[in-house]
Amino acid sequence: MQSTFKKLPPEKQEKIISAATKIFADKGYYQANVAEICTEAGISNGALYKYFKDKESLYISTFEHGIIDLKEKVFERHLVGPGSTYEKLYILLKGIANYGHKDRREIALYFDLGSRAMNKFAAVLSVQIEDMARNYYFELIKEGKQNNEIDKSVNTEKAAYLIDNNINIFAFSLFSEHYDKRFNNYFGSNSKKLSVEKKIQITLELTKKILS
Amino acid sequence: MQSTFKKLPPEKQEKIISAATKIFADKGYYQANVAEICTEAGISNGALYKYFKDKESLYISTFEHGIIDLKEKVFERHLVGPGSTYEKLYILLKGIANYGHKDRREIALYFDLGSRAMNKFAAVLSVQIEDMARNYYFELIKEGKQNNEIDKSVNTEKAAYLIDNNINIFAFSLFSEHYDKRFNNYFGSNSKKLSVEKKIQITLELTKKILS
Amino acid sequence: MQSTFKKLPPEKQEKIISAATKIFADKGYYQANVAEICTEAGISNGALYKYFKDKESLYISTFEHGIIDLKEKVFERHLVGPGSTYEKLYILLKGIANYGHKDRREIALYFDLGSRAMNKFAAVLSVQIEDMARNYYFELIKEGKQNNEIDKSVNTEKAAYLIDNNINIFAFSLFSEHYDKRFNNYFGSNSKKLSVEKKIQITLELTKKILS
Amino acid sequence: MQSTFKKLPPEKQEKIISAATKIFADKGYYQANVAEICTEAGISNGALYKYFKDKESLYISTFEHGIIDLKEKVFERHLVGPGSTYEKLYILLKGIANYGHKDRREIALYFDLGSRAMNKFAAVLSVQIEDMARNYYFELIKEGKQNNEIDKSVNTEKAAYLIDNNINIFAFSLFSEHYDKRFNNYFGSNSKKLSVEKKIQITLELTKKILS
DNA sequence: AATGAATGAGTTTTCATTCAT
DNA sequence: AATGAATGAAAACTCATTCAT
């Protein structure tokens, strides 16, 4: 099935996946309407079912595309090269915030994977995304230790996990009312919402605390 | 509308909310079937619409009930009284794990609130649940400082936030395939899944790290 | 599921089954349109799915109703009581011809069961209808032998089978262009179609031949 | 339209008709999928619509090809030449059973023509197939009378019709669950299905009975 | 001549909500 | 107050046919 899809001109593929990302992220898997995705992508209903076996298969492809995208545009871009651990983390957080200017939809997609209703997708998708993130944080911490920026006594697994939690929840706050309110509840004032830049600063400080 | 509901015998109220919690948590808000909730609750379809204006209103009441329940059965039960900070945290984690061992459904409900598709509910529900948790952690840290268990230089907001993230994600791992896999990906081995007790131990150690 | 259906007023049940019989017989199972059946029956789409689990289940109920109907209105009515074997057979053929004045639709339903595409229904439905017919013919032949109308040397199974084939194909010719043409091809003239009464006469003669 | 088809190399024609026969026979006309036929035939969707105006036209050609095939491979092969009436009938029945042992698909095609949903095709197709069969049986009976194997008092039309019914229903039992069950219901035991050879023997005996 | 991607109307089934009893 | 039958819009998916290449 996907073979037909892969034969399409890249811009068309991109348009379809982008439409699917938008609708799935905004409405959630079950509420997302296949016909709406088609309209958004500018293709007919029938065409979509030539490219993908069914809604599930479209969702999985969309999600996997999101992982690759996130990896290429956010993680890989900032991992390699010089710069201190915290500079890199700052760039990562900026990357997350800017990435998916179309409302950080890949992250919304990622968040939904955690829900009980999506357990059936977790088997296929969880490992892919988690491996990528974990490897990145391990590498970062290893480098930091080599450069004497991070104390060698720090336990890599624990630190990586805490940082990942922390960054995830920062990312969630970019699209989720709930996580945004929660962030404000801890660090903001009622009257004024925290800016993204401020959230990044706080997240960075929290990460420093974890790594200290 | 809810006035009619509140006039019902408490056991009947309980039965309805319990049925709604089960179905909403298992399937998610949109996939949850009102008729199924009625059957589970042993009432007629028509009756439900006498008690609640619509599905949204039922959901909000169910969620709010979950918050109160969580507060009474988990937080308040372990906050008051003697015991060291870590003893209390251990009891709290045990409480979360055992609470609703009928599948930790209130937590699944809470998780789903974070999804973009649920943004419209966040306005009403987020604050309620977050205030409760934050207050609890503030109190715990304050006490810890008084008892000299926690260093006075620790920033209360940051520590509370990190602990909350950490405990939330532990809680998610109790019902979500994705968060369970993620936990195992960091701390487990491929062959054997981490037991709940082991997860509690790890979470406690992570919390200690945060508070040090 | 059917329990809801059985609770309906008998006239309404009748109307639904009658509508289903009509559409299934006219179009065949796969071409039959559930929405059209609903319109014909004067009920909503949703209602039908309260009464029957799905299209298959509606079909099976419709078919089984047809068997009972055929049994009561055609077979049982003419089996009991006095009369010679051929008088009874004549009445049976008349019964088949008149029965289902609404175009002998139950018979069309029965015919379709023979098609390869309907093999999956045969397991449930074949035995029911065949047992009824076979028992009837066995009884008829037994009586005929007792009354010395049929020679005792006649093999009951073979005779019953041939009669059944013969009567089936007469019945098919009442609704099927193909079997009507075939009948005319053997016994009619090109210019004028055989009347039903003439077909009955021929079928009766053929049966006599079989039983001689 | 068919002119284009007739210009194709015979093997390609054969492959297309063979694919269509398979799919039409297995699924029935309405359930048969044009795209599936194309895949099976190894041609493109577009090509098929160059050769045939539409699905109906393809069906008619397929059916007509089936008639010719049946005539050549089954009827004509066994009609001419020496041999007693019953030897010829035995060979005919063996021929039907072996013919298209790739599932006796032409016969399934022929059966479906009897359904009410196919009435619109009967006008074109019925006569063709019925004439062939009737002529064959007439010839056989005539020869039999000449050879004094069949009593001259036997009515040719009636006997031919009964034999045709009988042989048709034997043929149906080769692919139809329903007619197979029916056959077993009369002549078999519950535990063991009748073999094809046994069915042939019974059909032959029934034919003898008809001709006696 | 041949391809095979694209179309879009049509089909079965679900489900929140209403309302007569 | 309570019931539960009824509604009908909506949603996923199919498929004969067309047409640009």
In order along chain B (212 residues), what is the average pLDDT of each group of 10 residues?
82 95 93 96 95 95 91 76 86 81 74 89 89 90 92 93 94 90 88 90 93 85
Q: How far apart are CA B161 and CA C44, in angstroms?
A: 54
- Closest-lying nucleotide for B32 based on CA to C1': E15
Please state, in angstroms and rounded to a whole number, the distance separating the CA atoms of residues D180 and A46: 40
Residue D130: pLDDT over 50:
yes
Domain D63-211 is in which class? Answer: mainly alpha
In whole angstroms, what is the distance from residue D202 CA to residue A53 CA? 49
Question: Does A177 reach chain B within 8 Å, measured CB to CB?
Answer: yes
Length C17 CA → E19 C1' (Å): 26
Interface partners of chain A (CB pairs < 8 Å, 3 or more) are B
pLDDT at position D56 over 90: yes
Touch between C and B (at least 3 CB pairs under 8 Å) = no
Q: Can you list the alpha helix ranges (DSSP code H) found in chain C?
A: 2-6, 10-27, 34-41, 45-51, 55-70, 76-79, 85-98, 105-112, 119-146, 156-172, 177-187, 196-211
Which nucleotide has the least CA–C1' distance to C32?
Answer: E11
**Any CB–CB contact under 8 A between B187 and chain A?**
yes
Higher pLDDT, residue D78 or D86? D86
Q: Does B165 touch chain A (CB under 8 A)?
A: yes
- Point out the residue among C176, C186, C187 whose CB comes nearest to the CB of D116: C176
Task: Check if residue D49 sits with its Cβ under 7 angstroms from strand F.
Answer: yes
A130–B182 C-beta distance less than 8 A: yes
Give which of B115, B118, B134, B172 to mutate to test A binding, by max A Cβ within 10 Å: B115
Residues 86-145 of B with CB under 7 A from strand E: none
Distance between first and last Cα of chain A:
50
Nearest nucleotide by C1' position to the B56 CA atom: E16
Q: A2-211 is classed in which CATH architecture?
A: Orthogonal Bundle (1.10)
Measured torsion, CA atoms of residues A37, A39, A41, A44, in degrees rounded to the nearest 10: 100
DSSP summary character for residue C104: T
D198 touches chain C (CB under 8 A): no
Chains D+C touching (3+ CB pairs under 8 Å):
yes
- Spatial neighbors of A100 by CB under 8 A, at least 6 apart, are A106, A107
- Report the sign of the C-alpha dihedral through residues B105, B107, B110, B116, in that order: negative
Q: Residues C64-211: name the CATH superfamily.
A: Tetracycline Repressor, domain 2 (1.10.357.10)
**Does B111 contact A115 at a Cβ distance shorter than 8 Å?**
yes
CA distance C191 to C176: 19
B149 to chain A, any CB pair closer than 8 A? The answer is no
> Tokens standing for D40?
């099976």
D99 pLDDT band (50/70/90 cuts)?
low
Find the mean pLDDT for residues A196-212: 93
How many other CB atoms sit within 10 Å of the CB of residue D56?
A: 13
Minimum CA–C1' distance nucleotide for C46: F7
Q: Do chains A and C touch, with touching meaning 3 or more CB–CB pairs less than 8 Å apart?
A: no
Q: What does the alpha-carbon distance between residue D59 and residue D2 come to, in Å, rounded to a whole number?
A: 12
- Contacts of residue D141, defined as CB under 8 A and 6 or more positions apart, other chains included, come to D85, D150, D154, D156, D159, D160, D211
C-alpha B48: how far from chain center: 25
Work out whether the CA dihedral B174, B177, B183, B184 comes out positive or negative: positive
Q: Which single residue is written with the structure tokens 């710069």? A: A83
Q: Which chain D residues are closer than 8 Å to C36 by Cβ?
A: none
Give the confidence band of A2 by pLDDT, cuts at 50, 70, 90.
Answer: low
Most confident of B69-78, D43-52, D64-73, D92-101: D43-52
Nearest to D156 by CA among D87, D111, D210: D210
- pLDDT number for residue C62: 95
Answer yes or no: do D28 and C25 touch at CB < 8 A: no
Give A175-188 pLDDT, tens digit per residue: 888 999 999 999 98
* Mutation target vs D (from C116, C121, C183; most D CBs, 10 A cutoff): C116
| Each residue's pLDDT tens digit, A110-141 | 999 988 889 999 988 998 889 889 999 999 99
Which chain B positions have a beta carbon within 8 Å of A182's beta carbon? Answer: 126, 130
Asked if D162 has any chain C CB less than 8 Å from its own CB, the reply is yes
pLDDT at A212: 82
- Regions of chain C with pLDDT less than 70: 1-2, 78-80, 99-103
Strand E within 7 A of B49 CB: yes
User: Which chain D residues are within 8 Å of C33, Cβ to Cβ?
Assistant: none
Q: What is the pLDDT of residue C1?
A: 45
Query: CB–CB of B166/A165 below 8 Å?
Result: yes
**Any strand F atom closer than 7 Å to A82 CB:** no
* Chain B residue numbers touching A33 (CB-CB < 8 A): none
pTM of the model: 0.89
**Would you tell me which residues 72-91 of chain A have a C-beta closer than 8 angstroms to some C-beta of chain B?**
none
Task: Please tell me the predicted confidence (pLDDT) of residue A100.
Answer: 57
Q: Which pLDDT does position C161 carry in this prediction?
A: 95
Nucleotide nearest to D49 (CA to C1'): F17
> Which residues on C lie below 8 Å from D117 (Cβ)?
26-28, 31, 112
CA distance A93 to chain B (A): 17
Distance, C-alpha B172 to centroid of its chain: 9
Nucleotides of F under 7 A from a protein CB: 1-20
* Mean pLDDT confidence for A186-212: 90
User: Which pair of structure tokens corresponds to residue D198?
Assistant: 């046994």
The residues, any chain, with a CB within 8 Å of residue D169's CB and separated by 6 or more, are C165, D179, D183
The pLDDT value recorded for residue B186 is 92
- Which pLDDT score is estimated for B193? 87
Nearest residue on chain D to C108, alpha-carbon basis: D116
D173, D180 contact by CB (below 8 A): yes
Cβ–Cβ under 8 Å, residues A207 and B161 = no
CA distances in angstroms from C31 to C28, C176, D116, listed in the order given: 6, 17, 11
pLDDT tens, residue by residue, D139-175: 999 999 999 999 999 999 999 999 999 999 999 998 8
Looking at residue A1, what is its pLDDT?
45
C178 contacts on D by Cβ (under 8 Å): 113-114, 118-119, 122, 125-126
Residue nearest to nucleotide F5 (CA to C1'): C47
Closest chain C residue by Cα to residue D177: C119
Number of Cβ within 10 Å of residue B41's Cβ equals 22
pLDDT in the model for residue A102: 58
Give the whole-angstrom CA distance, residue D84 versus residue B39: 73
A202 pLDDT higher than 60:
yes
Greatest distance between any 2 Cα atoms in chain B? 58
Do B13 and B5 form a contact (C-beta atoms < 8 A)? yes
Question: Cα B100 from chain centroid?
Answer: 9
Q: In this complex, does chain B touch chain A, defined as having at least 3 beta-carbon pairs under 8 Å apart?
A: yes
> Where in chain D are the domains?
63-211
C contact test, residue of D104, D135, D177, D189 with most C CBs within 10 A = D177
Helices (H), chain A: 2-6, 10-27, 34-41, 45-51, 55-70, 76-79, 85-98, 105-112, 119-146, 156-172, 177-187, 196-211
* pLDDT (mean) for A16-31: 94
Chain B residues within an 8 Å CB radius of A63? none
Q: What is the CA radius of gyration of chain C?
A: 19
Flag if A209 and B162 touch (Cβ within 8 Å). Answer: yes
pLDDT of residue B101: 55
Residue nearest to nucleotide E5 (CA to C1'): A47
